Structure 1
């Protein structure tokens, strides 16, 4: 497995989104209380004008506020149903919850969490993307052969059981099929030419 600590986020962003187009935007002094990994993520990603998140929204750092329960929401999903927060008394931790549910501790520390979310968002923002449903186990193994699983922590959102694989200039996300046997799989790359080898795998109906 790939250790998430081995993923160099600046290099990863350049690989998938191209070279940064501007200098980093310094955070205002009002953000000094935020955990370093979160400040560093916002400073780094400010160098790209391109959109970097598609299924989640990062709260602008200057708008992050500590609520009455002592938590501060820093990210929400696209539907507004899931929220992720930090706790100033536990700066390395991440907590998440579906709307109206109590906070639960995410299995990842903040640094790894931010890498995980940045990598996962590429699945929905890459220039080339194909998807197949209910893929048999042996076929999935063939699809993922050039890749290696990333040892990210298990999230409850968007559903339990999602796994991410990287390698060969591609990235894949898999999850057990909703109904029946097999796996749903999405594979992405910077251009469709890098996914052409998938067309030779028999028994798979790829959708763009």
Structure 2
């Protein structure tokens, strides 16, 4: 099992997006109040001109504002229905909720949360993506054999119970099938030869998906 604290985010970004293409963009002084992990994430990712998030949107740090409830939303999902916020009085914490629902504390601290989201977004933006539905347990074990489960905290969004697995430049996301037994599996990489063996598994119907 991989400890999320052992994931070096700069190295991870280089693995999936290549070397940085520009200098880091400094944040304006108006962002000084933001928690350090959030400022560091924006500064780090500004070095890549490529898109980093796909199913979530990080609000530009200069536009993050404290609302009447004392919370400040820093990320939303693609539909705007799910939101994540920080609390200046609890700078290490993350809170999330669907729109119009009360805030719940996320099980992860902000630093781990940002790593989790960055890793997970690769699943939806990688150049090579293979997806299979209702994969039997024993076949799933074979698929994931070269990888390790990443011990991220459990999120309610986008689907409770999903897991992320990592092995070099290959990632996999698994979640219980929506109907019936088995697992829905998505395996991604930047180069097809790393996962070509999976398409030779006759018991699995893989579908290639474009980023």
State TM-score, norm by structure 1: 0.99
Deviation at 1:202, TM superposition (A): 3.1
Corresponding residue of 1:25: 25
| CA deviation string 1:158-204 (max 9, x = no partner) | 01011000004210000000000000000000111111011232310
- Per-residue Cα deviation, 1:8-49 (whole angstroms, up to 9, x for no partner): 000000000000100000000000000000000000000000
- Residue 162 (structure 1) aligns with: 162
Query: RMSD across aligned C-alpha pairs, in angstroms?
Result: 0.6
Match status 1:57 vs 2:92: no
Partner of 1:106: 106
Aligned residues: 208
**Contact in 2 for aligned 1:134/1:181 (Cα 8 Å):** yes
* Equivalent residue number for residue 204 of structure 2: 204
- Whether the 8 Å contact between 1:143 and 1:201 is mirrored in structure 2 is no
- The answer (yes or no) to whether the contact 1:135–1:183 under 8 Å persists in 2 is yes
Q: TM-score, normalised by structure 2?
A: 0.98
Gap runs ≥5 in structure 2: none
3-state SS of 1:175 partner: strand
Q: Is the 8 A contact 2:16 2:169 kept in 1?
A: no
Counterpart-to-counterpart distance in 1, 2:60 and 2:155: 23
Q: Provide the residue aligned with 1:151 in structure 2.
A: 151
What residue is the counterpart of 2:179 in the other structure? Answer: 179
Equivalent positions of 1:36-75 (< 5 A) are 36-75=36-75
> Unaligned stretches of 5+ in structure 1?
none
Alpha carbons 2:149, 2:163 under 8 Å: kept: yes
Q: Secondary structure at the match of 2:92?
A: strand
Structure 2 counterpart of 1:190: 190
> What SS class does the counterpart of residue 30 from structure 2 fall into?
helix
**2 CA distance for matches of 1:134 and 1:8?**
33
| Residue equivalent to 1:7 | 7
CA distance in 1, matches of 2:39, 2:50: 19
2:134 match: secondary structure: strand
SS in 1 for 2:195: helix
CA distance in 1, matches of 2:91, 2:199: 46
